[in-house]
Amino acid sequence: MHIATVGRAFPPHYADQDTLIAAFRAAWAARYHNVGRIEQLHRNVLVGGRHLALPIGDYLQLRGFTEANDAFVRVGTDVGAAAVSDALARAGLTPADVDAIWFVSVTGIAAPSIDARLVNRLGFRPDIKRTPIFGLGCVAGAAGVARVSDYLRGFPDHVAILLSVELCSLTLQKEDLSIPNLIASGLFGDGAACVVMTGERRAAAMGLAGPHVVATRSVFYPDTEGVMGWNIGTDGFKIVLSAEVPDMVTRHLRGDVDRFLADQGLDYPDIATWIAHPGGPKVLEAMEAVFPLPEGALERTWRSLREVGNLSSASVLMVLREALENPPPPGSYGLLIAMGPGFCSELVLLRW
């Protein structure tokens, strides 16, 4: 189960954090008692700027969930198509070569789903197998790679793709002045990523050297449903974001990784490349505190957070793309890791 390429795409609108802070201050100044707190929270997430599905001024004109979700379908189809096209071109493949597609998102709803809308648009075969997944949130990038690898174990001649489309800006709750919503409005951005993966026999025919998926593990933490997610109602997606998220790293993730590596006969010095989801500064600081990491091990992840923000499920795939472009020596191991609603974690061991 080889990873051939990762494609990406962003909406055409981009704003640096200073511009976004000014827009939020203007929108909320009359209703929030401490407008300086908005800027403080947005500075603290260490994001330098973000891509947006719409021009900044259009967000105040959205009338409720219906218009926001319509924009998700329209823009999501566009950026999804661009990400798939980028990934396939980088792999030297065409849509007709793809046997199966997994689609993940947690920032909009569509039926037919975005992957279905791309079949005619991009020219996938009519017999393509489609698996749209909603609700995994930030963990879906890593979980998607794991589920695609499961499929390819049974179909070693196949090509499969994982497409993530996340337009977090369209979930903005303009009337919600809670701390979780204020943090989310400064942290999350928009983008799409597409991973091309192949079975073993197809990889050999294409001459792919790696990386390949060695092992995967899913871990669910009982009674943690309130840590992260959405409350979905007439106004759309309202963020659930507990201060416990970094604690999940401290309480659970170190032990999960310890056991996972031990089961593969490995230890931390064997991991040359860390591909972690950029959940936010406190999450990454917790990882650096609990894991025996070499200096700079999470630099790719920190850089992704600074440049484009947290893109939910697409973020870890953006980090994976950079790892593919700057690979470690052949035979080296990498660990792809993410956490998300459930609360849960997903671990994927790679080898180049």
Hey, which residues are catalytic here?
138
The rounded distance, in Å, linking the Cα atoms of 217 and 268 is 17
Is the separation of the CB atoms in 219 and 249 below 8 Å? no
The rounded distance, in Å, linking the Cα atoms of 245 and 228 is 8
| CA-closest candidate to residue 340, choices 162, 166, 114, 195 | 166
CB count within 10 Å of CB 26 equals: 11
Is the separation of the CB atoms in 230 and 173 below 8 Å? no
The distance of Cα 153 from the centroid of its chain, to the nearest Å, equals: 24
The rounded distance, in Å, linking the Cα atoms of 338 and 344 is 9
In angstroms, the Cα distances linking 146 to 48, 240, 345 are 31, 26, 12
**Mode of pairing for the β-strands spanning 190-198 and 2-9:** antiparallel
Helices 299-308, 315-325: axis angle to 10 degrees equals 130
